[in-house]
Amino acid sequence: MKLSIDDFCIRCQLCETLYPDLFRLDVENDVIMTKVADVPENLMDDAKNAIKDCAVTAIRFTK
């Protein structure tokens, strides 16, 4: 399972702050990036919580 971030992300950086193993800010391009190609089992709960925590629901699972 992969994570994707939609373009309407407002770059609040909450996901990066709470789940630094999963997200990072690409400062040069001013976009939030995922740090893992596939979410490992040990980060699956964090990924689910990140999806819930994002205020604009910009994070979702993709195959």
- DSSP class of residue 42 equals G
Q: Site mask, ligand SF4, residues 37-56, x = CB under 6 A?
A: -----------------x-x
d(CA 44, CA 22): 10
The answer to whether the CB of 35 falls within 8 A of the CB of 22 is yes
Q: Of these, 32, 34, 39, 47, which contacts ligand SF4 (CB under 6 A)?
A: 32
Single residue of 1, 2, 4, 12 touching ligand SF4 by CB under 6 A: 12
Binding site for ligand SF4 (CB under 6 A): 5, 9-15, 32, 54, 56, 58-59
